[in-house]
Amino acid sequence: MNRLNEAQVKENLSRLTDWEMDSDRAISRLFAFKNFNRALLFVNAVGFIAEQHNHHPDIDIRFNQVRLVLSTHDSGGLTQKDFNLAREIENLPKLGEVKA
């Protein structure tokens, strides 16, 4: 898949909620939940979606906080796959999400 140019990245990023540039090659978002169990439920849901897309984010779990980082490694940066997956993740049920 082709890497997106800067204008395409900005346009796609503007359509997402609370995602930010992690570097010039990735986007990230921090999610916070009521407790560890809710964070794990969220991670499992993300894993299910990621498998369907054959596109797997970097996931960091710290008690009730989950940080996701999306990048298309074999393309060397951001592609439409990253933004498609981010939108699907945003559409997950809130699962006890609280403001990070």
- pLDDT value of position 96: 81
6-98 has which fold?
Answer: Gyrase A; domain 2 (3.30.1360)
Average pLDDT for residues 48-63, to the nearest whole number? Answer: 96
- pLDDT value of position 24: 83
* Alpha-carbon gap, residue 86 to 26, rounded angstroms: 11
* Alpha-carbon gap, residue 96 to 2, rounded angstroms: 36
In the chain, at which residue ranges do the beta strands (DSSP E only) sit? Answer: 20-23, 26-33, 58-62, 65-70, 97-98
Could you tell me how many residues make up the chain?
Answer: 100
* Alpha-carbon gap, residue 72 to 26, rounded angstroms: 8
Average pLDDT for residues 11-36, to the nearest whole number? Answer: 95
